[in-house]
Chain A
Amino acid sequence: MAGRRRKTARDKLQQEFVSEAEEILERMRDDLSALAELDASERAAPPELVNRLFRSAHSLKGLSGMFGFAGLAELAHHLEDVLDRLRLGRTSLAGGGLGLLDESVSLAAAGLEKIGRGEAADPLADPIAELVGRIAAWGEAAPAERAPAGPIPLPESLARALTEYEESRLADALRRGRTLAVIEVEFEIASFEESLSELTRAIQEIGEVISTLPSPGAASDSGIRFALLAASELGAAELAARLELEPDAVRIVHAPAAARPVAAPVERAAPASEPDAGTLKSLSDTVRVDIKKLDELMNLVGELSRERAALRALAERLAGERETARAAEALEKIRRSLDRKVQELQAGVLDVRMVPLRQVFDKLSRVARRLRIDLGKEVELEIEGADTELDKLIVEELVDPLMHLVRNAFDHAIETAAERRSRGKPERGRIRIEASQRGNDVVISVRDDGRGIDPASVRARAVERGLVAGDAELSQKELLALLFLPGFSTREEVTATSGRGVGLDVVRANVAALGGLVEIDSTPGASTCVTLTLPITLAIVQALLVGVGTQRFAIPLGGVRETLVVTPEDVQHSAGRELLALRGEALPVCRLVEEFALGAVDRERRQYAVVLGIGNARLALLVDRLEGQQDAVIKPVQGPVRSVRGVAGATELGDQSAVLVLDVSALVEDGARRREAA
Chain B
Amino acid sequence: MSAPGTERWDRLARAAAAAREQGEEQHLRELLRVEVAGAPYALPIERVREIVRLRPLTRIPRVPAIVLGVISLRGEIVQVLELRQALGAGSAPPGRRARIVVMNGDEGEVAGLLVDAVTEVMRVAESELAEPPGEPAACVRAICRRGDRFVSLLDPEPVLELAVR
Contacts and interface: CB of A to CB of B under 8 A. Distances in A.
Residue of B1, B4, B16 with most partner-chain A CB within 10 A: B4
A635 interface: yes
B40 to A, nearest CB: 24
A660 B78 contact: no
A551 interface: yes
Contacts of B111: 638-640
B77 A635 contact: yes
Nearest to B60: A644
B78 A639 contact: yes
A671 to B, nearest CB: 16
A597 B58 CA distance: 14
A100 interface: no
B36 interface: no
Interface stretch (B67-75, B117-125, B134-142, B145-153): B67-75
A224 B109 contact: no
Contact of B76 (A211, A551, A596, A638): A638
A640 B60 contact: no
User: How big is the A interface, by class?
Assistant: 35 or more
Nearest to A222: B20
A484 interface: no
A644 B63 contact: yes
Contact of B13 (A51, A197, A214, A299): A214
B164 A641 contact: yes
B25 interface: no
Contact of A659 (B58, B61, B81, B160): B58
Given A52-B1, A647-B61, A639 B20 contact: no
B26 interface: no
Interface in A630-667: 633, 635-642, 644-647, 649-652, 656-660
Interface stretch (A188-196, A315-323, A405-413, A460-468): A188-196
A165 B75 CA distance: 49
Interface in A200-249: 200, 209, 211-214, 221, 224, 226
Contacts of A122: none
Mostly helix, strand, loop or mixed at chain B's interface? mixed
A193 B10 contact: yes
B110 interface: yes
A296 B75 contact: yes
A641 B63 contact: yes
B76 A645 contact: no
B163 to A, nearest CB: 4
Given A214-B12, A224-B16, A637-B79, A647 B2 contact: no
B163 A658 contact: no
B62 interface: yes
B86 to A, nearest CB: 11
Given A211-B5, A636-B77, A224 B13 contact: yes
B29 to A, nearest CB: 15
Contact of B163 (A193, A226, A299, A639): A639
B20 A650 contact: no
Interface in B1-38: 1-6, 9-10, 12-13, 16-17, 20
Contacts of A595: 61
Contacts of B81: 639-640
Given A213-B9, A214-B12, A224-B16, A646 B1 contact: no
A637 B60 contact: yes
B97 interface: no
Contacts of B76: 635, 638
Interface in B40-81: 55-56, 58-63, 67, 70-72, 75-81
Contacts of A163: 4-5
Contact of A641 (B1, B12, B67): B67
A295 B75 CA distance: 9
Contacts of B160: 639-640
Interface in A224-282: 224, 226
B110 A166 contact: no
A55 B112 CA distance: 46
A598 interface: yes
Nearest to A636: B77
A200 B67 contact: no
Nearest to B63: A641
Interface string A153-181: 00000000001011000000000000000
| A-B pairs with lowest CB-CB distance, top 9 | A639-B79, A596-B61, A640-B163, A640-B160, A650-B77, A639-B111, A658-B72, A652-B72, A658-B58
10 contacts: A197-B3, A211-B5, A221-B20, A637-B70, A640-B67, A640-B163, A641-B163, A641-B164, A642-B164, A657-B56
Given A299-B75, A637-B79, A657-B56, 5 more contacts: A192-B13, A551-B58, A639-B110, A650-B70, A660-B58
